[in-house]
Chains A and B, each alone.
Chain A
């Protein structure tokens, strides 16, 4: 297999990938950073390059430039061959094979979407999803938005949308006050660091925040018209333009799994040096577990040091990383999903949005693979990225069955990917 070779290739230009790339490039080694978005930044710093205001993001993006890290934009890694130390990258009109000595997978996470009646109506979106669309130019000013689901992301999104002029009618967090308090997150804003917490609180001034509350149904003929929430002792219903729902985050492990990395509990398994079970493949950031930006940056740096064989510098950071991981674990527990959410879908509620497969057709199946083969659930273009984690939650199945290509790819790209 031919193609350019780099000492370190990093997939994913979010905080983890960027910090890893900087560490490698600082020492003068050649690093290639690949991302499927048009600009680096990952989920949180997307659009930063164009009109960003976040100082931390600006700092890291500047370092990328300073150390002349080569960034391959708009390129999706669709496959790879670990035996040959090669990955295959598809862009809008080309395909290339890139070889590495060390590979760092920092493919981040996506939102967890759970089915409820009406969730397939247009204008029902992810929480991070709506935020991303607004960052990309979707008009939101003056629109009525209900935010629901779980986790600190709801607050970040609420604050952002409000700042963009949206009327945020309510934020519904499924975790109860009692649970949040038990894990030391009594204040809804506490999850983020103190300064951010204060900022968020200010930003969300006058936005009703309900804990122990969840969305029961999205209502509308062909598009969203109204939302119904279950609050602790009553129902709440209101007309709105957009419903933004996310139930937390799910690691993007598909590429790692395809390259043979071991997983555990839905995350890529890594050792203290961020090394995966596959030789010369490391992983960092939310691919290895959901933990927020700071942890992603930290893991990225450790992976960077690890990739260049600098154990000492990596070890310096272990204790900080451990502290952040402890915090992340506490967050995960605080925002654990409640049983009631399992009973939201009605018989006819679709679980698989690509193939339109309803709850009642999937429920009797003995497992994920059987459901795929007999109902087509998870067989559409999202390759089970949406319904897989949902089915895992709803039915307790193990929904991991990755197949090449990692993302739908042009047949061309699979032809081009050949041995010389």
Chain B
């Protein structure tokens, strides 16, 4: 008996692959998901789970905002272990210079109907008493949220399964081409359309994809309920995070539904070993301590690293892979793949169904002329 032919064969069961599987299954397509390890065990497990609207570029804004709204729709059906909480984001301005940025951002968001509010120094103090006093202010972006990504990936795949999808774990794809997915043992799974959602490993299936790993460190603490209330990020982050050369750290603290704090963030290029780099970890934590003076006294449970799949212009690659007719990419989501997973899936399915997408998919096309962002 030969294997059935699937409509869509997806390599990778991270949050992006899972979102794509769900979107395709909902259209009635016959979907197979192939995962070398287990659901959500890649960057999806390593990341922070901040669903955040960003404004580095119009294209980034469009994708993150679209996706954030899709998250709000999904939220009501998510089970409790997905830990969706609409915390909002506080973009913290340390000084007057950063406050100018707060105002610019506020204007940008207001023009695009993203609810946000400027907090002055006093209201910031009141909103987050653990922050050091004397900070200049903050921008409160209200619809941003926090989720626990591995459980969301699992949920999306459970729903896909209910709709007939097959999810195969422990199944490594060694080749993904116009015929289907090939495995080590010489067997194949055939599909009409193939999707490379292999995260930071996407380029090992299709070396033309301009993806490089960008390493990040995170730390999680014991439970300290109501220690902070919003996702807190320094505005300096915007200055440092997206430089594609030097290593950088930024104050980025997330309150989990459990009462734990997730502390980030760091970015290092050209590293793909999972080892904790003690010196950048130290810098990252010291930075967080500059914003939250009592933070160094808290108890840390675990430190880990993850790899972001970075592209030269910091936009994901969504669409047909060059040189193939039936192979699509859904990869290269850098530090925003949790946020943008849902929109990625929509853009993909709209392409497969030849429908007009809700936002232009051009900026994320794999064949775009990628300019280095800087």
Contacts and interface: CB of A to CB of B under 8 A. Distances in A.
Given A404-B276, A404-B303, A410-B297, A415 B282 contact: yes
Interface string A251-274: 000000000000000000000000
Bin chain A's interface residue count.
20 to 34
Given A408-B299, A411-B219, A411-B298, A374 B282 contact: no
Given A81-B278, A415-B282, A418-B283, A408 B300 contact: yes
Interface string B277-298: 0110111011011000001111
Interface string A356-387: 00000000001101100111000111010000
A79 interface: yes
B222 interface: yes
Contacts of B279: 418-419
Contacts of B263: 411
Contacts of B219: 411, 414
A379 B222 CA distance: 10
Best-surrounded residue of B40, B154, B288, B300 (most CB of chain A within 10 A):
B300
A408 B222 contact: yes
A405 B303 CA distance: 7
A383 B150 contact: no
B300 A369 contact: no
Nearest to A78: B300
Given A366-B169, A411-B297, A412-B296, A418 B304 contact: no
A134 interface: no
Best-surrounded residue of A375, A380, A383, A412 (most CB of chain B within 10 A):
A412
Contacts of A367: 38
B99 to A, nearest CB: 28
Given A381-B301, A405-B300, A409-B300, A414 B41 contact: no
Contacts of A380: 301
A403 interface: yes
Best-surrounded residue of B169, B219, B295, B303 (most CB of chain A within 10 A):
B303
A29 interface: no
A412 B295 CA distance: 8
B302 A414 contact: no
Contacts of B19: none
Given A374-B39, A411-B295, A418 B221 contact: no
A63 interface: no
Given A414-B285, A415-B285, 10 more contacts: A366-B170, A373-B40, A373-B150, A379-B301, A409-B299, A410-B297, A411-B297, A411-B298, A418-B278, A419-B279
8 closest residue pairs by CB, A with B: A418-B282, A412-B296, A370-B38, A373-B150, A415-B285, A411-B296, A408-B299, A419-B279
